[in-house]
Amino acid sequence: MLQRSGRMLGLALGVTGATAFVAGFGSAAVAEWKPRKPVEFVVMAGKGGGADKAVRLMQSIIAKEKLAAVPVVPVNKPGGSGAEALVYMKGKKGDDHTIMFTLNSFYTTPLRQKKLGIDVTKFTPVMRMAEDTFCLWVHSDRKDINNVDDFVKAAKAEGNKWIMAGTGKASEDNLLTDFLNTAYGLDMKYIPYKGGGKVAKELAGKNANSTVNNPSEQLGFYEAGKTKPIACFTDDRIGLFKDAPTFKELGKDFVYYMQRTVVGAPGMSDEAKAYYKDLFTKVFNSEAWQTYRKKKALQGDPLSGEDLMAYWKKERDVHEDMLKKMGELN
């Protein structure tokens, strides 16, 4: 109805934003199954965060391009680093109207909280929409820091007075900080904050010495000349920051991405699985999503089905290994 009232508003105001997009192909089986009530789109994070924004963008694309006959409704379940969302999805076994948007806490939370009894390989793989990247950032006023060697020198000099801000304990940012500490023999102090936007602001306001933000979180400050990337945790250099090398280039083989993936409830029917795969392929190929990917320096090809499952298994093992090294797991 939201789309509907939107449509009516659009018509009434004489703004026909988009022409109906009719997919004329797809196997017969795909055409068979359609959602019969509003689809719940669970977000493993709170309102206003990066994942939430992406979900609301997808919701808008689906509404605008009329890709689904029913509304897709975001439901935020941020509790316990995603534990709440995972337990909720587990309880929705066999449900064809519940999907979830996941981050890397998809791997780390079940590993750290074993008693939840979550096996992520039981979930239904739908579509990997993107992989977000990470870079090491410092304030632009630090004219003495222009490359990783400068950074290491400066951070060493300050010892544990060097403050690295990040999002939450044992999160992606924490993993990367630990990696830097180990790889370069540093003793940076990690301060957890709530949300990547807040972290980016702490650096721009000089309340932290460095961060390992996603480019999207620092982009505004970067463009205003307040912060600068030193190096990135990617395979290849990021188009927006051609001058920032990758840690791989510098001889530290450390590549780390944040998955942005749509997951179905465990035991979802094959017909529904095919429907959502088709739906999110259309979302992925939409102009709005492609623009968003480019703006946010997102990487990662679309991945679904068995390939996505294989990716999960690989990433889960990688995270288990990292958490063990951090001493968060034994």
Give the nearer residue to other proteins in terms of CB position, either 2 or 23: 2
Closest to other proteins by CB, 9 vs 29, is: 9
Angle subtended by helix axes 172-184 and 305-326, to nearest 10: 50
Indicate the SS3 state at residue 236: coil
- Catalogue the long-range contacts made by 77-84 (C-beta closer than 8 Å, 24 or more residues apart): 77/42, 77/43, 77/44, 78/43, 78/44, 78/45, 78/46, 78/49, 80/109, 80/113, 81/105, 81/108, 81/109, 81/112, 81/168, 81/170, 81/171, 82/44, 82/45, 82/106, 82/109, 83/109, 83/113, 83/116
| Shortest CB 252 distance to other proteins, Å | 25
Applying the rule CB under 8 A, the residues between 119 and 158 that interact with other proteins are none
Work out which of 197, 215, 229, 264 binds other proteins, going by CB under 8 A.
197
Q: In angstroms, what is the minimal distance from the CB of 49 to other proteins? A: 8
Q: How buried is residue 151: exposed, middle or buried, by Cβ count under 10 Å (0-12/13-18/19+)? A: buried
Smallest distance from other proteins to CB 154, Å: 18
User: Closest separation between CB of residue 69 and other proteins, Å?
Assistant: 5
- Report CA Rg, the chain: 21
Among 77, 128, 228, 316, binds other proteins (CB under 8 A): 77
What residues from 218 to 247 belong to the interface with other proteins (CB under 8 A)? 219-221, 223-224, 226
Largest CA distance in the chain: 66
Q: Segment near other proteins (CB under 8 A), from 119-127, 192-200, 250-258, 316-324?
A: 192-200
Q: In the window 12-51, what residues touch other proteins (CB under 8 A)?
A: 13, 15, 17, 36-38, 40, 47-49
CA distance 78 to 214: 19
- Of 57, 240, 255, 318, the one binding other proteins (CB under 8 A) is 57
By CB under 8 A, name the one of 30, 56, 152, 281 that touches other proteins: 56
Q: How far is the CB of 175 from other proteins (least distance, A)?
A: 12
Stretch that binds other proteins, among 82-90, 235-243, 252-260, 297-305 (CB under 8 A): 82-90
Extended beta strands in 35-107, E state: 39-43, 72-76, 98-102
CB of 306 to other proteins, least distance (A): 31
Q: Least distance to other proteins from the beta carbon of 168, Å?
A: 5
Query: Rounded to whole angstroms, what are the CA distances from 1 to 47, 73, 225, 261?
Result: 22, 11, 44, 26
The answer to the question of residue 10 lying near other proteins (CB under 8 A) is yes
The count of residues in the chain is 330
Of 272-311, which residues contact other proteins (CB under 8 A)? 288, 291-292, 295
